[in-house]
Amino acid sequence: MTETLTATKTLIVGLGSPYGDDQIGWMACERLITEIGHLPAVEFIICDRSGIEWMTKLPPGGQVIFIDAMRSGEKPGTVSKIDIRSERCAECPATLSSHGINIRDAIDLVQSLGDLPEIISVWGVELEQCNYEWGLSESVNTALPTLLENIKSDIH
Amino acid sequence: MLTRVEGEGALAISIRKNKIESLQLRIFEPPRLFEKLLEGRLYTEVPDIVSRICGICPVAYQMSAIHAFEALFGIDPGSWVRDMRRVFYCGEWLESHSLHIHLLAAPDFLGFDSAPAMAKEYPLELRRGLMLQSLGNDLIRLFGARSVNPVGAKVGGFTCAPSMEDVNALLHKLRAALPDAEALISWTALLEYPKMSQHFPSVAISHPGEYPMNEGDLKSDQGLHIPINQFEHHFEEKQVAYSTALHCTLLGQAYLVGPLARINLNYGKLHPEVKQTIEKISVQFPSQNMYHSIVARAAEIYYALIEAIRLLENYHVSKSPFVKVTPKKGHAYGCTEAPRGSLWHQYEIDKKGVVQNARIVPPTSQNQARIEQDLRFTLEQCGLDAPEEILRLKAEQVIRNYDPCISCATHFLNLTVARL
């Protein structure tokens, strides 16, 4: 894997906020920095809005992995890999994201510019609570190791 | 108060005999009650709390609050802090204006329904916008540790001074962006603008020695010149029944704040390079054409870039990036120039430095009445017998010209037309 990583740059984007289950994207990103942050071809960004901040840092021809909390009707703590080009994702209302720029809009923009990385992965964890509590709910906390293992396996 | 508004805006107009009888821009976002939340908080907590009001202009909220407290406490943090706060603010103008021009406003002028659609034909322009915005974020991060809700600013100065290495690396990138920023002014000037002139007072801070950001008196182009602590004697905020956004008026009149108002009042304070570039284009200032706001934003991007470079070229790592603060009882007033216009704060503080009450008047609230006035003018000029789809598009363009914090949320403006 190391050889591939040095040849192909991977950008891992943790999305969310410091609150409740919404912090799963940040927390997973921080854990990955600790575990695989030494790999030279992997970069990390933690941000609280889905667009703009990461758009200028995409690795050409590489891979981008988004990590975020999600609400899709599944059981809380469910770890899913989402196809950003799916119809289900297209129906996601923009108002769920800060300032109306959701991941899909941002990816559309990057695609129009011809800067889209070859591989885009979106990893989500179904949230249990979306409030201003500091900690993760038990179900999301339990899902964290599975999420991390899946993401590490997903790095090309 | 109207701070950052997400959700849908709605516009209701009644038309009788080809004239608008009533027009209401309705904002549904419930009040966020930040002012109430600040009561009982120590002055040291305020900058970090108010920065959460807006993810696009947190620096402005921090600066208005910090300047208010320092004025009351009689603190002079010195020239290093003063200069670096200006650089910090330059970052916010760069970030916010670049986002607005390229992702929100330009598609309107070029006939696209979104930035991704525009990117296919204007990829270089979009890339330029993202690059300039990213530079703005880098500047905010330099002093604030992060670009959204930065944490480096405090009453008395900054928590720490950036390293020479970080400053030099960023300086290199800022210098490289100068040709792009200069070209942006000419590019915005070549967009097609309706020829129009509306009557409105421009209001902004003015400072005798510099283009306004952090300090100065409030001025209008109709003779107002007051210290910021006199704001409440001249400006009045009113609740309207149909919207959660307050409407602020100047002696009963709608008025404009923001880049066009700022440049109308302070053109002479721009750097010579910016003025020379503007002299070569068809758009000139002062201007009463609201569509020229996008050119004013481009001019401020070029200004902010030159100003940040000028100040960082003299940078040294300060051993004392902040001064000691002793609170005092009294009323604190702060007003700085957010990307969207003058942002006024007032706090009543007890002797321990605890906030007793707070009042924040953001630029979007100040522009509400002006937006409604402009919508009435523009839609009548467009022709009220136009299909509702055309009226809706025109209304969205008018609203986006002001870059209100609702601009993102009003891409799908819900328009109700009653033809009486």
DSSP class per residue in A93-153? -GGGSGGG--HHHHHHHHHHTT---SEEEEEEEE-S--SS-SSPPHHHHHHHHHHHHHHHH
Q: What is the pLDDT of residues A86-111, one digit of tens each?
A: 655 555 554 444 345 667 777 888 88
Two structure tokens written together for B252: 């009963």
* B373 has a chain A CB within 8 A of its CB: no
Identify any residues that bridge with B27 across adjacent strands, giving them in sequence order: B9
Q: Which residue has the higher pLDDT, A134 or B330?
A: B330
Of B45-49, B61-65, B220-224, B244-248, give the lowest mean pLDDT range: B244-248
Q: Which residue has the higher pLDDT, A18 or B170?
A: B170
* Dihedral sign for Cα atoms in the order B297, B94, B170, B156: positive
Residues of B within 8 A of A55 (CB-CB) are: 130
Tell me the average pLDDT across A33-47. Answer: 89
What CA–CA distance (Å, rounded) separates A8 from B263? 47
Relative to beta strand A63-70, strand A42-47 is unpaired
Residues 6+ apart with CB under 8 A from B165: none
ipTM of the complex as predicted: 0.71
Q: Name which of B404, B417, B416, B414 is nearest B105 in CA terms.
A: B404
How high does pLDDT run on average in chain B?
Answer: 91
What CA–CA distance (Å, rounded) separates A9 from A156? 9
CA atoms within 13 A on the CB side of B310: 12
What CA–CA distance (Å, rounded) separates B17 from A143? 63
Categorise residue B329: left if φ over 0, alpha if ψ from -120 to 50, beta otherwise. beta
Relative to beta strand B225-226, strand B235-238 is unpaired
* B238 has a chain A CB within 8 A of its CB: no
This prediction's pTM:
0.88
Q: What is the pLDDT of residue A24?
A: 93
DSSP structure class, residue B256: B
What CA–CA distance (Å, rounded) separates A142 from B129? 41
Q: What is the pLDDT of residue B176?
A: 98
Of A47, A48, A52, the CB nearest to B99: A52
Q: Name which of B359, B365, B366, B363 is nearest B333 in CA terms.
A: B359
Structural Rg of chain A based on CA atoms:
15
Confidence tier at A7 by pLDDT (50, 70, 90): very low
Q: What is the pLDDT of residue B179?
A: 98
Q: What is the pLDDT of residue B164?
A: 98
Cβ-in-10-Å burial (0-12, 13-18, 19+) of B18 comes to exposed
Of A131-135, B154-158, B204-208, B352-356, give the lowest mean pLDDT range: A131-135
Confidence tier at B364 by pLDDT (50, 70, 90): confident
Which of A8-22, A33-47, B158-172 holds the top average pLDDT?
A: B158-172
H/E stretch holding A80 reads strand A79-82
User: A interface mutation test: which of B408, B410, B411, B412 has the most A CBs within 10 A?
Assistant: B408
Q: What is the pLDDT of residue A60?
A: 77
What CA–CA distance (Å, rounded) separates A119 from A63? 5
Relative to beta strand B414-419, strand B9-16 is parallel
* A101 has a chain B CB within 8 A of its CB: yes
Contact by Cβ (8 Å): B420, B18: no
pLDDT of B344 > 70? The answer is yes
Confidence tier at B399 by pLDDT (50, 70, 90): confident
Q: Which residue has the tokens 């289950």?
A: A21
Categorise residue B157: left if φ over 0, alpha if ψ from -120 to 50, beta otherwise. left
- The answer to whether the CB atoms of B131 and A108 lie below 8 A apart is no
Q: What is the helix, strand, coil percentage profile of chain B, to 5?
A: 50, 20, 35
Q: Name which of A68, A46, A44 is nearest A125 in CA terms.
A: A68
pLDDT of B410 > 60? The answer is no
Residues of A within 8 A of B400 (CB-CB) are: none
Q: What is the pLDDT of residue B5?
A: 35
Helix, strand, or coil here: B81?
helix
* Dihedral sign for Cα atoms in the order B326, B327, B330, B335: positive
Of B127, B148, B411, the CB nearest to A100: B411
pLDDT of B7 > 50? The answer is no
pLDDT of B371 > 90? The answer is yes
Residues of B within 8 A of A100 (CB-CB) are: 6, 408-409, 411
Residues of B within 8 A of A113 (CB-CB) are: 119, 123, 126-127
Contact by Cβ (8 Å): B401, B290: yes
